[in-house]
């Protein structure tokens, strides 16, 4: 494992830091999660996901505002390579974990700090919904179907951690890197911002080769962007080369979505049935 022998301490609750920590554990790092005395609210909100995100890790509870808890944390940090946090800079300062103090006490320790907004707005509060809404990815009254900002930020945090550790291994200075969730989700809006996924654009329903079609029951997703896939799809459907969207709509109504899924798999065509949302794990599981 590439991060075998690397120690990570994570002092954070909720999703972004926990997902990032789990990514690092999957790469071989030994991860210790430090929770506040009351624990992580995610354990009550979604216990099954909480458990999944703590697989293979060590978890402890410390009151970092107390002398005893602070001393215990620094005991963990003395043997760690990376600190992962999701606290505002002012909160880190109050805990004596601002970068200057942290680096002076643990000069070999790298730090990835997950924040909501980039400077100068690092103290502004927010959650996944506000970050997505701020960049225009929310369509009221529907709620987002996933935590895009949290998960995007988690992946960025894990990447930043690996970059800092690699830099240290190559003799570069130990450093801190801030990951803003608002920045992470903003990059995910680029397909819309640059127009390729805007309504009516190439990836927004403007091309018959890339879109959603209603079947006899359900829907299918077609992604035959490459010319050879498009030619293959039209040939398999016995449609002419100049077939338009209405022609495909008529063709796909001939059978059910799952039947089309099997049909496409046999012909190695990029078409799948649109399936319902994943089965939810019971909140009390």
pLDDT given at position 220: 98
The CATH number of residue 69's host domain is 3.40.50.10540
pLDDT of residue 10 exceeding 70, the answer is yes
One domain for residues 130 and 250: no
Residue-range definition of the domain harbouring residue 239: 202-273
Query: What is the C-alpha separation between 98 and 219, in angstroms, rounded?
Result: 52
Judging by beta carbons within 10 Å of its beta carbon (0-12, 13-18, 19+), is residue 68 exposed, middle or buried? exposed
pLDDT given at position 281: 62
Residues in the chain: 285
Cis, peptide link before residue 242, omega less than 30° from 0: no
* Boundary (domain end) residue, out of 167, 191, 215: 191
pLDDT given at position 278: 78
Per-residue pLDDT averaged across 185-191, rounded? 92
Cα four-point dihedral sign 232, 234, 239, 243: negative
Report the number of secondary-structure helices (H) and strands (E) in the chain.
13, 9
Query: What is the C-alpha separation between 90 and 284, in angstroms, rounded?
Result: 35
The backbone torsions φ and ψ at residue 66, rounded to the nearest 5 degrees and listed phi first, read -100, 155
Number of domains in the chain: 2
pTM: 0.89
Query: What is the C-alpha separation between 152 and 161, in angstroms, rounded?
Result: 14
Query: What is the C-alpha separation between 170 and 66, in angstroms, rounded?
Result: 37
pLDDT of residue 159 exceeding 60, the answer is yes
Per-residue pLDDT averaged across 7-31, rounded? 97
* Boundary (domain end) residue, out of 140, 156, 191: 191
Per-residue pLDDT averaged across 231-249, rounded? 97
Query: What is the C-alpha separation between 153 and 115, in angstroms, rounded?
Result: 9
pLDDT of residue 80 exceeding 60, the answer is yes
One domain for residues 183 and 57: yes
């Amino acid at each position: 494992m590439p991060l075998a022998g690397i120690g990570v301490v994570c002092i954070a609750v909720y999703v972004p830091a926990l997902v990032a920590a789990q990514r690092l554990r999957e790469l071989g790092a030994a991860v210790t999660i430090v929770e506040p005395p009351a624990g992580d609210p995610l354990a009550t909100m979604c216990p099954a996901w909480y458990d999944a995100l703590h697989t293979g890790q060590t978890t402890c509870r410390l009151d970092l505002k107390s002398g005893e808890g602070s001393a215990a944390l620094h005991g963990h940090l003395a043997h760690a390579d990376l600190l992962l946090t999701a606290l505002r800079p002012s909160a880190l300062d109050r805990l004596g974990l601002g970068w200057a103090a942290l680096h002076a006490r643990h000069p070999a320790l790298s730090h990835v700090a997950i924040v909501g907004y980039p400077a100068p707005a690092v103290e502004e509060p927010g959650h996944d919904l506000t970050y997505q809404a701020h960049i225009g990815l929310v369509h009221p009254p529907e709620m987002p179907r996933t935590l895009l900002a949290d998960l995007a930020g988690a992946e960025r945090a894990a990447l930043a951690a690996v970059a800092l550790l690699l830099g240290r291994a190559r003799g570069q200075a130990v450093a801190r890197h801030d990951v803003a969730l608002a920045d992470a989700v903003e990059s995910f809006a680029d397909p819309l911002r640059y127009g390729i996924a805007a309504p009516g654009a190439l990836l927004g329903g403007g091309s018959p080769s890339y879109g959603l079609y209603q079947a006899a029951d359900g829907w299918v997703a077609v992604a035959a962007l490459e010319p050879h896939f498009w030619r293959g799809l039209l040939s398999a459907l016995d449609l002419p080369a100049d077939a338009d969207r209405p022609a495909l709509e008529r063709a796909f109504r001939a059978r059910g979505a799952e039947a089309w899924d099997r049909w496409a798999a046999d012909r190695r065509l990029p078409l799948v049935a649109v399936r319902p949302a994943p089965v939810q794990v019971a909140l009390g599981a």
